[in-house]
Amino acid sequence: MPRLKRKAKRTIVSIFILLAILIGFFSYKYIINKDNENPSIKDFIDSAKDNEKEKIQTFTAKLIATGDGLAHPAVYNSGYNKETNSYDFSDMLAFTKEKLKGYDIKYYNQETIFDDSKSYSGYPTFNTPSGFGTSMLAAGFNLVSLATNHSMDRGSESAKASAKWWEEQKNILATGMASTPEKRNEHKIMNANGITYTMLSYTYGTNGIPVTEDYTVNLFNEEQVKADIAAVRDKVDVLIVAMHWGIEYQQNATEIQKQQAKFLADNGVDIVLGTHSHCIEPWEWIDDTVVFYSFGNFVSNQMDLTNPMQKKIAVIGMFATLDITKTVDTEQNTTTIKIDNIGADLNYSYKFYNKDKGKYDFLVIPFSKMEAQYLNNYESIYNEFSAVLKKYDSNINIEPLPIS
Protein backbone atom coordinates (compact mmCIF):
# COMPACT_ATOMS: atom_id res chain seq x y z
CA MET A 1 0.00 0.00 0.00
CA PRO A 2 2.64 2.51 0.87
CA ARG A 3 4.37 1.84 -2.43
CA LEU A 4 1.15 2.25 -4.36
CA LYS A 5 0.48 5.49 -2.56
CA ARG A 6 3.92 6.84 -3.50
CA LYS A 7 3.31 5.91 -7.17
CA ALA A 8 -0.12 7.51 -7.15
CA LYS A 9 1.38 10.59 -5.55
CA ARG A 10 4.04 10.82 -8.27
CA THR A 11 1.36 10.38 -10.92
CA ILE A 12 -0.79 13.11 -9.45
CA VAL A 13 2.20 15.47 -9.28
CA SER A 14 3.07 14.69 -12.89
CA ILE A 15 -0.49 15.40 -13.95
CA PHE A 16 -0.45 18.77 -12.14
CA ILE A 17 2.87 19.68 -13.75
CA LEU A 18 1.53 18.74 -17.19
CA LEU A 19 -1.64 20.77 -16.56
CA ALA A 20 0.45 23.76 -15.47
CA ILE A 21 2.53 23.55 -18.63
CA LEU A 22 -0.59 23.29 -20.80
CA ILE A 23 -2.30 26.19 -18.99
CA GLY A 24 0.82 28.32 -19.35
CA PHE A 25 1.13 27.49 -23.03
CA PHE A 26 -2.50 28.28 -23.86
CA SER A 27 -2.41 31.42 -21.70
CA TYR A 28 0.61 32.61 -23.66
CA LYS A 29 -1.14 31.85 -26.98
CA TYR A 30 -4.22 33.70 -25.73
CA ILE A 31 -2.23 36.77 -24.80
CA ILE A 32 -0.41 36.77 -28.11
CA ASN A 33 -3.60 36.34 -30.11
CA LYS A 34 -5.43 38.91 -28.00
CA ASP A 35 -2.83 41.53 -28.80
CA ASN A 36 -2.17 40.42 -32.32
CA GLU A 37 -5.27 38.39 -33.27
CA ASN A 38 -4.17 36.37 -36.27
CA PRO A 39 -0.58 37.45 -36.94
CA SER A 40 -0.57 36.34 -40.55
CA ILE A 41 -3.75 38.28 -41.45
CA LYS A 42 -2.66 41.40 -39.56
CA ASP A 43 0.75 41.32 -41.21
CA PHE A 44 -0.93 41.01 -44.59
CA ILE A 45 -3.21 44.02 -43.90
CA ASP A 46 -0.31 46.14 -42.60
CA SER A 47 1.78 45.20 -45.60
CA ALA A 48 -1.05 46.13 -47.97
CA LYS A 49 -1.45 49.49 -46.22
CA ASP A 50 2.28 50.17 -46.43
CA ASN A 51 2.28 49.31 -50.12
CA GLU A 52 -0.68 51.62 -50.71
CA LYS A 53 1.13 54.43 -48.91
CA GLU A 54 4.12 53.91 -51.11
CA LYS A 55 1.94 53.94 -54.24
CA ILE A 56 0.01 57.12 -53.39
CA GLN A 57 1.93 60.11 -52.01
CA THR A 58 0.30 63.47 -51.18
CA PHE A 59 1.97 66.86 -50.71
CA THR A 60 0.32 70.16 -49.78
CA ALA A 61 1.35 73.82 -49.78
CA LYS A 62 -0.52 77.01 -48.95
CA LEU A 63 -0.14 80.25 -50.93
CA ILE A 64 -0.99 83.80 -49.86
CA ALA A 65 -0.68 86.79 -52.19
CA THR A 66 -1.19 90.52 -51.91
CA GLY A 67 -0.72 93.63 -54.02
CA ASP A 68 1.50 96.64 -54.56
CA GLY A 69 4.25 97.73 -52.22
CA LEU A 70 4.01 101.31 -53.45
CA ALA A 71 6.53 103.31 -51.44
CA HIS A 72 5.64 106.97 -51.79
CA PRO A 73 7.95 109.33 -49.83
CA ALA A 74 5.49 109.46 -46.94
CA VAL A 75 5.65 105.66 -46.75
CA TYR A 76 9.43 105.28 -46.78
CA ASN A 77 9.96 108.32 -44.55
CA SER A 78 7.72 106.69 -41.95
CA GLY A 79 10.32 103.95 -41.53
CA TYR A 80 13.35 106.22 -41.28
CA ASN A 81 15.30 106.24 -38.02
CA LYS A 82 17.40 109.40 -37.80
CA GLU A 83 19.57 108.10 -34.96
CA THR A 84 20.70 105.02 -36.86
CA ASN A 85 20.28 106.48 -40.37
CA SER A 86 18.40 103.34 -41.37
CA TYR A 87 14.94 102.17 -42.38
CA ASP A 88 12.70 99.75 -40.52
CA PHE A 89 9.05 99.06 -41.38
CA SER A 90 8.38 96.28 -38.89
CA ASP A 91 5.71 98.32 -37.07
CA MET A 92 3.86 98.89 -40.35
CA LEU A 93 3.98 95.15 -41.04
CA ALA A 94 3.01 93.84 -37.58
CA PHE A 95 -0.40 92.53 -38.67
CA THR A 96 1.06 91.32 -41.96
CA LYS A 97 3.76 89.24 -40.30
CA GLU A 98 1.10 87.49 -38.24
CA LYS A 99 -1.10 87.05 -41.31
CA LEU A 100 1.66 85.30 -43.28
CA LYS A 101 2.27 82.65 -40.64
CA GLY A 102 1.08 79.21 -41.67
CA TYR A 103 1.61 79.85 -45.39
CA ASP A 104 4.40 78.39 -47.50
CA ILE A 105 4.39 80.63 -50.60
CA LYS A 106 4.01 84.34 -49.73
CA TYR A 107 3.76 86.85 -52.58
CA TYR A 108 3.69 90.61 -53.06
CA ASN A 109 4.43 93.02 -55.90
CA GLN A 110 7.37 95.40 -55.42
CA GLU A 111 6.15 98.40 -57.39
CA THR A 112 9.27 100.55 -57.01
CA ILE A 113 13.00 100.02 -57.47
CA PHE A 114 15.85 100.09 -54.94
CA ASP A 115 19.03 102.02 -55.72
CA ASP A 116 20.68 103.17 -52.49
CA SER A 117 23.44 104.94 -54.42
CA LYS A 118 20.98 107.60 -55.60
CA SER A 119 18.55 109.95 -53.90
CA TYR A 120 15.20 108.48 -52.97
CA SER A 121 12.14 109.78 -54.76
CA GLY A 122 8.42 109.37 -55.34
CA TYR A 123 5.96 109.91 -58.14
CA PRO A 124 6.43 110.03 -61.08
CA THR A 125 9.92 108.45 -60.97
CA PHE A 126 10.29 106.32 -57.85
CA ASN A 127 13.38 105.17 -55.99
CA THR A 128 12.92 103.46 -52.63
CA PRO A 129 15.33 102.59 -49.79
CA SER A 130 16.23 98.90 -49.89
CA GLY A 131 15.30 98.77 -46.21
CA PHE A 132 11.71 98.53 -47.42
CA GLY A 133 12.53 95.24 -49.13
CA THR A 134 14.48 94.01 -46.11
CA SER A 135 11.47 94.59 -43.89
CA MET A 136 9.09 92.90 -46.33
CA LEU A 137 11.29 89.80 -46.37
CA ALA A 138 11.60 89.87 -42.59
CA ALA A 139 7.80 89.89 -42.38
CA GLY A 140 7.82 86.60 -44.30
CA PHE A 141 7.36 87.33 -48.00
CA ASN A 142 9.37 84.94 -50.20
CA LEU A 143 7.91 85.43 -53.69
CA VAL A 144 8.24 88.88 -55.26
CA SER A 145 7.28 90.34 -58.63
CA LEU A 146 9.55 93.12 -59.91
CA ALA A 147 8.32 93.89 -63.44
CA THR A 148 6.20 97.05 -63.21
CA ASN A 149 5.61 100.27 -65.11
CA HIS A 150 8.08 101.92 -62.68
CA SER A 151 10.95 99.49 -63.25
CA MET A 152 12.85 101.97 -65.45
CA ASP A 153 12.00 105.13 -63.48
CA ARG A 154 15.63 106.02 -62.71
CA GLY A 155 17.24 104.56 -65.81
CA SER A 156 18.93 101.35 -66.82
CA GLU A 157 21.74 101.40 -64.26
CA SER A 158 19.33 101.86 -61.36
CA ALA A 159 17.15 99.08 -62.75
CA LYS A 160 20.15 96.74 -62.77
CA ALA A 161 21.19 97.84 -59.28
CA SER A 162 17.71 97.05 -57.99
CA ALA A 163 17.67 93.66 -59.73
CA LYS A 164 21.07 92.84 -58.27
CA TRP A 165 19.88 93.65 -54.75
CA TRP A 166 17.08 91.14 -55.13
CA GLU A 167 19.37 88.53 -56.71
CA GLU A 168 21.55 88.67 -53.59
CA GLN A 169 18.70 87.83 -51.20
CA LYS A 170 18.58 84.26 -49.89
CA ASN A 171 15.74 81.72 -49.85
CA ILE A 172 13.37 83.81 -51.96
CA LEU A 173 12.29 84.08 -55.58
CA ALA A 174 12.17 87.61 -57.03
CA THR A 175 11.64 87.82 -60.77
CA GLY A 176 10.77 90.20 -63.60
CA MET A 177 14.00 92.21 -63.63
CA ALA A 178 17.63 91.10 -64.06
CA SER A 179 21.10 92.56 -63.71
CA THR A 180 22.58 90.52 -66.60
CA PRO A 181 21.32 88.59 -69.64
CA GLU A 182 22.32 85.34 -67.93
CA LYS A 183 20.22 86.20 -64.86
CA ARG A 184 17.26 86.98 -67.12
CA ASN A 185 17.15 83.35 -68.27
CA GLU A 186 18.09 81.79 -64.95
CA HIS A 187 14.68 80.52 -63.86
CA LYS A 188 14.96 79.73 -60.18
CA ILE A 189 12.96 76.70 -58.98
CA MET A 190 11.62 76.66 -55.43
CA ASN A 191 10.27 73.84 -53.28
CA ALA A 192 7.41 74.06 -50.78
CA ASN A 193 6.74 70.81 -48.89
CA GLY A 194 7.67 68.65 -51.87
CA ILE A 195 5.88 70.85 -54.43
CA THR A 196 8.18 72.57 -56.93
CA TYR A 197 7.23 75.93 -58.39
CA THR A 198 8.57 78.97 -60.17
CA MET A 199 7.23 82.34 -61.26
CA LEU A 200 7.52 84.47 -64.39
CA SER A 201 6.78 88.20 -64.19
CA TYR A 202 5.81 90.72 -66.89
CA THR A 203 4.66 94.33 -67.27
CA TYR A 204 2.65 95.94 -70.04
CA GLY A 205 5.17 98.80 -70.29
CA THR A 206 7.42 101.29 -68.48
CA ASN A 207 5.56 104.62 -68.76
CA GLY A 208 7.19 105.40 -72.09
CA ILE A 209 10.74 105.12 -70.75
CA PRO A 210 12.79 103.07 -73.26
CA VAL A 211 14.14 99.68 -72.19
CA THR A 212 17.57 99.88 -73.82
CA GLU A 213 18.71 96.49 -72.48
CA ASP A 214 15.80 94.09 -72.76
CA TYR A 215 16.95 91.80 -69.93
CA THR A 216 16.53 94.53 -67.30
CA VAL A 217 12.73 94.23 -67.21
CA ASN A 218 10.33 91.71 -68.73
CA LEU A 219 7.86 93.33 -71.13
CA PHE A 220 4.86 91.19 -72.05
CA ASN A 221 5.35 89.69 -75.49
CA GLU A 222 3.53 86.51 -76.43
CA GLU A 223 6.46 84.99 -78.28
CA GLN A 224 8.84 85.63 -75.37
CA VAL A 225 6.30 84.45 -72.80
CA LYS A 226 5.81 81.20 -74.73
CA ALA A 227 9.57 80.65 -74.78
CA ASP A 228 9.83 81.32 -71.05
CA ILE A 229 6.99 78.92 -70.29
CA ALA A 230 8.56 76.23 -72.47
CA ALA A 231 11.83 76.62 -70.55
CA VAL A 232 10.24 75.85 -67.17
CA ARG A 233 6.89 74.10 -67.60
CA ASP A 234 8.18 70.52 -67.41
CA LYS A 235 10.57 71.35 -64.55
CA VAL A 236 7.98 72.38 -61.96
CA ASP A 237 4.71 71.18 -60.49
CA VAL A 238 3.19 74.66 -60.38
CA LEU A 239 3.82 77.58 -62.72
CA ILE A 240 2.87 81.06 -61.52
CA VAL A 241 2.82 84.19 -63.68
CA ALA A 242 2.70 87.72 -62.23
CA MET A 243 1.07 90.23 -64.58
CA HIS A 244 1.33 94.02 -64.27
CA TRP A 245 -1.60 95.04 -66.46
CA GLY A 246 -4.98 96.74 -66.70
CA ILE A 247 -6.14 100.33 -66.21
CA GLU A 248 -5.51 102.27 -63.01
CA TYR A 249 -8.53 102.70 -60.72
CA GLN A 250 -10.76 100.51 -62.90
CA GLN A 251 -12.37 97.71 -60.89
CA ASN A 252 -13.04 95.43 -63.87
CA ALA A 253 -10.65 93.42 -66.00
CA THR A 254 -10.19 94.84 -69.48
CA GLU A 255 -10.64 92.77 -72.61
CA ILE A 256 -6.85 92.77 -73.04
CA GLN A 257 -6.41 91.34 -69.55
CA LYS A 258 -8.94 88.62 -70.27
CA GLN A 259 -7.27 87.76 -73.58
CA GLN A 260 -3.84 87.59 -71.96
CA ALA A 261 -5.21 85.50 -69.08
CA LYS A 262 -6.69 83.05 -71.61
CA PHE A 263 -3.36 82.96 -73.44
CA LEU A 264 -1.55 82.08 -70.20
CA ALA A 265 -4.12 79.42 -69.31
CA ASP A 266 -3.86 77.87 -72.78
CA ASN A 267 -0.09 77.67 -72.38
CA GLY A 268 -0.11 75.75 -69.11
CA VAL A 269 0.06 78.44 -66.41
CA ASP A 270 -1.54 77.38 -63.12
CA ILE A 271 -1.88 80.67 -61.23
CA VAL A 272 -2.03 84.27 -62.49
CA LEU A 273 -1.34 87.07 -59.99
CA GLY A 274 -2.38 90.52 -61.24
CA THR A 275 -1.39 94.02 -60.15
CA HIS A 276 -1.15 97.65 -61.37
CA SER A 277 -4.68 99.09 -61.16
CA HIS A 278 -4.19 100.11 -57.49
CA CYS A 279 -7.62 98.68 -56.74
CA ILE A 280 -9.27 95.29 -56.31
CA GLU A 281 -10.53 93.55 -59.43
CA PRO A 282 -12.51 90.27 -59.58
CA TRP A 283 -11.03 86.80 -59.75
CA GLU A 284 -12.09 83.81 -61.86
CA TRP A 285 -11.22 80.35 -63.16
CA ILE A 286 -10.19 79.95 -66.79
CA ASP A 287 -10.32 76.19 -67.29
CA ASP A 288 -7.91 74.93 -64.59
CA THR A 289 -6.09 78.26 -64.18
CA VAL A 290 -6.98 80.55 -61.30
CA VAL A 291 -6.71 84.25 -62.21
CA PHE A 292 -6.58 87.15 -59.76
CA TYR A 293 -6.88 90.23 -61.99
CA SER A 294 -5.72 92.68 -59.32
CA PHE A 295 -5.02 92.63 -55.59
CA GLY A 296 -5.07 96.42 -55.24
CA ASN A 297 -2.51 98.22 -53.13
CA PHE A 298 -0.81 96.53 -50.22
CA VAL A 299 0.51 99.83 -48.89
CA SER A 300 0.63 103.31 -50.44
CA ASN A 301 0.06 106.98 -49.74
CA GLN A 302 -2.70 107.22 -52.33
CA MET A 303 -5.26 108.23 -49.73
CA ASP A 304 -4.02 111.76 -50.47
CA LEU A 305 -5.49 111.65 -53.97
CA THR A 306 -8.00 114.44 -54.57
CA ASN A 307 -10.47 112.24 -56.48
CA PRO A 308 -12.78 110.77 -53.78
CA MET A 309 -13.37 107.54 -55.69
CA GLN A 310 -9.66 106.95 -56.29
CA LYS A 311 -8.95 107.82 -52.68
CA LYS A 312 -11.29 105.11 -51.45
CA ILE A 313 -10.42 102.27 -53.80
CA ALA A 314 -6.66 102.87 -53.59
CA VAL A 315 -6.45 102.17 -49.86
CA ILE A 316 -8.37 98.88 -49.97
CA GLY A 317 -6.46 95.80 -51.13
CA MET A 318 -6.61 92.12 -50.31
CA PHE A 319 -4.76 88.99 -49.32
CA ALA A 320 -5.77 86.06 -51.54
CA THR A 321 -5.19 82.49 -50.39
CA LEU A 322 -5.34 79.02 -51.91
CA ASP A 323 -4.23 75.44 -51.34
CA ILE A 324 -2.05 73.41 -53.68
CA THR A 325 -2.24 69.60 -53.47
CA LYS A 326 0.12 67.31 -55.34
CA THR A 327 -0.78 63.61 -55.62
CA VAL A 328 1.79 61.14 -56.92
CA ASP A 329 0.74 57.65 -58.00
CA THR A 330 4.01 55.73 -58.22
CA GLU A 331 2.36 52.62 -59.63
CA GLN A 332 0.67 54.52 -62.50
CA ASN A 333 3.60 56.96 -62.75
CA THR A 334 1.28 59.98 -62.67
CA THR A 335 1.31 63.31 -60.85
CA THR A 336 -1.76 65.50 -60.43
CA ILE A 337 -1.98 69.06 -59.13
CA LYS A 338 -5.12 70.42 -57.53
CA ILE A 339 -5.70 74.08 -56.63
CA ASP A 340 -8.67 74.82 -54.39
CA ASN A 341 -9.93 76.51 -51.21
CA ILE A 342 -9.78 79.97 -52.79
CA GLY A 343 -10.07 82.58 -50.08
CA ALA A 344 -9.43 86.25 -49.36
CA ASP A 345 -9.12 88.83 -46.62
CA LEU A 346 -9.46 92.52 -47.44
CA ASN A 347 -6.78 94.87 -46.14
CA TYR A 348 -6.59 98.59 -45.42
CA SER A 349 -3.57 100.89 -45.81
CA TYR A 350 -4.07 102.97 -42.67
CA LYS A 351 -2.29 106.33 -42.35
CA PHE A 352 -2.10 108.14 -39.03
CA TYR A 353 -0.01 110.71 -37.20
CA ASN A 354 2.42 109.03 -34.83
CA LYS A 355 3.08 111.40 -31.92
CA ASP A 356 6.03 109.34 -30.68
CA LYS A 357 7.78 109.63 -34.05
CA GLY A 358 6.53 113.12 -34.76
CA LYS A 359 5.45 112.18 -38.30
CA TYR A 360 2.87 110.26 -40.30
CA ASP A 361 2.99 106.51 -40.06
CA PHE A 362 1.34 103.55 -41.81
CA LEU A 363 -0.16 100.25 -40.75
CA VAL A 364 -1.50 97.53 -43.06
CA ILE A 365 -4.64 96.13 -41.41
CA PRO A 366 -6.42 92.94 -42.53
CA PHE A 367 -10.18 93.37 -42.25
CA SER A 368 -10.27 90.23 -40.10
CA LYS A 369 -8.47 92.41 -37.51
CA MET A 370 -10.35 95.63 -38.28
CA GLU A 371 -11.65 98.04 -35.63
CA ALA A 372 -13.65 101.25 -35.90
CA GLN A 373 -10.67 103.25 -34.61
CA TYR A 374 -8.91 102.50 -37.90
CA LEU A 375 -11.87 102.82 -40.30
CA ASN A 376 -15.25 103.81 -38.90
CA ASN A 377 -17.33 102.62 -41.89
CA TYR A 378 -15.45 99.37 -42.37
CA GLU A 379 -18.59 97.21 -42.50
CA SER A 380 -20.01 98.98 -45.56
CA ILE A 381 -16.54 99.03 -47.18
CA TYR A 382 -16.24 95.30 -46.55
CA ASN A 383 -19.56 94.59 -48.26
CA GLU A 384 -18.78 96.87 -51.21
CA PHE A 385 -15.37 95.44 -51.99
CA SER A 386 -16.38 91.85 -51.33
CA ALA A 387 -18.99 92.29 -54.06
CA VAL A 388 -16.30 93.56 -56.46
CA LEU A 389 -14.14 90.54 -55.78
CA LYS A 390 -17.04 88.11 -56.34
CA LYS A 391 -18.30 89.74 -59.55
CA TYR A 392 -17.05 86.99 -61.93
CA ASP A 393 -17.16 84.07 -59.51
CA SER A 394 -18.81 84.09 -56.09
CA ASN A 395 -17.09 80.89 -54.94
CA ILE A 396 -14.54 82.56 -52.73
CA ASN A 397 -14.33 82.37 -48.97
CA ILE A 398 -13.86 85.96 -47.78
CA GLU A 399 -12.82 86.08 -44.15
CA PRO A 400 -15.56 87.53 -41.95
CA LEU A 401 -15.27 90.74 -39.99
CA PRO A 402 -14.34 90.41 -36.32
CA ILE A 403 -17.24 90.20 -33.90
CA SER A 404 -17.69 93.61 -32.30
| Pairwise pLDDT comparison (18 vs 176), residue with the higher score | 176
Specify if 247 maps to a domain: yes
If one counts the domains in the chain, the total is 2
Is residue 404 in a domain? no
The one-letter amino acid code at 236 reads V
Whole-structure pTM value: 0.86
Strand 195-203 versus strand 238-244 pairing type: parallel
306 versus 338: the higher-pLDDT residue is 338
pLDDT class for 277, splitting at 50, 70, 90?
Answer: very high
Q: Give the pLDDT of residue 49.
A: 58
One domain, residues 227 and 347? yes
Give all strands of the β-sheet with 238-244 in edge-to-edge order.
190-192, 195-203, 238-244, 271-275, 289-292, 283-286
Give the mean pLDDT of 150-179. 98
Amino acid 51: pLDDT? 57
By DSSP bridging, strand 289-292 and strand 283-286 are antiparallel
The residue segments making up the domain with residue 30 are 2-53
pLDDT exceeds cutoff 90 at 88: yes
Q: How confident is the model at residue 306 (pLDDT cuts 50, 70, 90)?
A: low
If asked whether residues 22 and 71 sit together in one domain, one would say no
Answer yes or no: do 13 and 148 share one domain: no
pLDDT (mean) for 363-387:
96
Q: Based on the domain organization, do 107 and 220 belong to the same domain?
A: yes
pLDDT at site 15:
46
> Span 250-263, mean pLDDT?
98
- Which among 291, 279, 273 has a CA at the least distance from the CA of 251? 279
Question: Does residue 19 share a domain with residue 168?
Answer: no
pLDDT band at 303 (very low <50, low <70, confident <90, very high): confident
DSSP structure class, residue 234:
G
Interval 123-142 mean pLDDT: 98
Residue range 160-167: mean pLDDT, rounded: 98
403 in a domain, yes or no? Answer: no
Residue 74 pLDDT exceeds 50: yes
Q: Render pLDDT for 37-50 as a digit per residue (tens, 0 to 9).
A: 455 555 655 655 55
Residue 25 has pLDDT above 80, yes or no: no
Residue 138 backbone class (left: φ over 0; alpha: ψ -120 to 50; beta: rest): alpha
Whether 270 maps to a domain, the answer reads: yes
pLDDT exceeding 70 applies to what percent of the chain?
A: 85
Span 85-107, mean pLDDT?
98
- Read off the pLDDT of each residue in 89-118 and give the average, rounded to a whole number: 98
- Same domain? 125 vs 158: yes
| Per-residue model confidence as pLDDT tens digits over 177-204 | 999 999 999 999 999 999 999 999 999 9
Residue 123 lies in a domain: yes
Residues 70, 23, single domain; the answer is: no
For residue 3, what pLDDT is reported?
30
Q: Is residue 24 part of a domain?
A: yes
**Section 57-61 average pLDDT:** 97
36 and 129 housed in the same domain: no
What pLDDT score was predicted for residue 7? 36
10 Å CB burial of residue 343 (0-12, 13-18, 19+) is: middle
Output the domain CATH number for residue 95. 3.60.21.10
189 shares a domain with 169: yes
Domain endpoint, select from 28, 53, 78: 53
Residues 47 and 61 in one domain: no
Asked whether residue 350 carries a pLDDT value surpassing 60, the answer given is yes
pLDDT for position 403:
81
Last residue of a domain, one of 53, 73, 96: 53
User: Does residue 400 have a cis peptide bond before it, meaning omega lies within 30 degrees of 0?
Assistant: no
Domain boundary among 53, 70, 87: 53
- Classified as helix, coil or strand, 391 is coil
Are 329 and 380 in a shared domain? yes
Q: What is the pLDDT of residue 57?
A: 96
Same domain, 49 and 80: no
141 part of a folded domain: yes
